[in-house]
């Protein structure tokens, strides 16, 4: 999801790595209409370079993408000098961009030696050790605490190796297969944000005037073949319910592009209508891959949709004649605009 900085980003005193990534997601859209297209292209190339450099796996094709974005940045960065925004770009961080591709070829991906790793070590080796001390004779106490942590980690590693060996021995000859974690599942709150909301209210608050028509066609498609009617008759018919339970957000685990298992990563998608608490609705935009030609570095093979509603079918609908062909209980209503 996209984080909303309600007070802006200029008031942030200490910016973490996660916050920097959230800022990068919205920065380009904030610049549209504020600077010329040449400046937009320069910022887009720099942001794309930063995103590509964070990949946990690289090949010659992704390195070529890196080089193209770096070349575009150098072609368009003169815009900021002509507009007197900067006098030059003689900054070590900008110079270091020239060595990224060579460093990746020689040393591997940047997650092996970037600043985030050392920040993590600073927390584990310094901050946690300081908290465990009495704050007076802290240095020898921190060293002793680290020594104990290393011994505990070594013992935990040995125990996990031993348990894994026993599990493998027990699974031999029994057809044991470790099933990979299921990704892509929706995670919803136990109770809806709006229970039994009328269809008329949904049309107004969610700014979805075509919702009823699309819902009728959608449900008609799931009727048994012998009971389906033409679209015109389906649109003229009435629905067997007048209310729906509505959720305003859900979480899901996106598929990892690099096939490595990263547990605990969730994205949140929101469709929040106008309410008494807030007069500003929020309907998130999603990029959905629809073709085999979709790439992680471009928009080919993808479509843009805006999420308007997340609902649950009424229980009376579950007992209708379409029961055997009904889709999963929870449905999303979205509008495609690309």
> Which two three-digit tokens encode residue 333?
């209503």
Interatomic CA distance for residues 35 and 292, integer angstroms = 35
Domain ranges of the chain: 17-113, 116-170, 186-336
Interatomic CA distance for residues 93 and 30, integer angstroms = 23
Residue 16 in contact with residue 285, Cβ under 8 Å?
Answer: no
Mean pLDDT of 47-54: 90
Over the stretch 290-326, which tens digit does the pLDDT of each residue have? 777 666 666 666 777 777 666 655 554 554 444 445 5
User: pTM of the entire structure?
Assistant: 0.60
Separation of first and last alpha carbons in the chain: 20
Interatomic CA distance for residues 226 and 52, integer angstroms = 52
Q: For residue 315, with 0-12 CB atoms within 10 Å meaning exposed, 13-18 middle and 19 or more buried, which class applies?
A: exposed
Interatomic CA distance for residues 311 and 324, integer angstroms = 20
Examine the pLDDT at 136 and tell me if it is beyond 70. Answer: yes
Residues 6+ apart with CB under 8 A from 257: 296
> Which two three-digit tokens encode residue 295?
């790439």
> Which two three-digit tokens encode residue 8?
């802006």
Examine the pLDDT at 178 and tell me if it is beyond 80. Answer: no
What integer pLDDT is reported at residue 324 of this predicted model? Answer: 47
Percent above pLDDT 70 for the chain: 78
């Amino acid at each position: 999801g996209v984080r909303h900085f309600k007070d802006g980003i200029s008031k942030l005193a200490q910016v973490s790595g996660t916050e920097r990534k959230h800022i990068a997601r919205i920065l380009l859209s904030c610049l549209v209409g504020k600077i010329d297209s040449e400046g937009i292209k320069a910022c887009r190339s720099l942001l794309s370079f930063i995103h590509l450099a964070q990949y946990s796996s690289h090949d010659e094709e992704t390195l070529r993408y890196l080089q193209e974005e770096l070349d575009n940045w150098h072609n368009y960065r003169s815009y900021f000098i002509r507009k007197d925004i900067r006098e030059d770009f003689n900054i070590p961080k900008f110079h270091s961009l020239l060595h990224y591709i060579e460093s990746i070829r020689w040393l591997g991906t940047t997650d092996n030696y970037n600043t985030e790793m050392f920040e993590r070590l600073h927390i584990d080796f310094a901050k946690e050790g300081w908290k465990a001390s009495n704050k007076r004779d802290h240095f020898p106490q921190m060293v002793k605490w680290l020594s104990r942590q290393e011994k505990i980690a070594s013992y935990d590693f040995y125990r996990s190796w031993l348990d894994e060996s026993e599990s493998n021995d027990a699974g031999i000859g029994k057809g044991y297969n470790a099933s990979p974690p299921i990704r892509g599942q929706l995670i919803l709150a136990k109770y809806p944000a709006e229970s039994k909301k009328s269809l008329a209210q949904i049309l107004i608050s969610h700014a979805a005037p075509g919702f009823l028509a699309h819902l009728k066609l959608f449900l008609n498609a799931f009727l048994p073949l012998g009971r389906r009617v033409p679209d015109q008759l389906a649109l003229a018919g009435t629905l067997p319910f007048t209310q729906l339970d509505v959720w305003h957000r859900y979480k899901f685990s996106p598929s990892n592009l690099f096939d490595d298992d990263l547990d605990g990563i969730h994205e949140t998608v929101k469709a929040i209508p106008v309410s008494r608490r807030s007069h500003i609705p929020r309907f998130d935009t999603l990029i959905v891959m629809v073709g085999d030609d979709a790439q992680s570095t471009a928009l080919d093979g993808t479509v843009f949709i805006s999420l308007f509603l997340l609902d649950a079918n009424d229980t009376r609908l579950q007992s209708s004649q379409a029961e055997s062909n009904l889709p999963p209980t929870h449905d999303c209503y979205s509008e495609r605009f690309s």
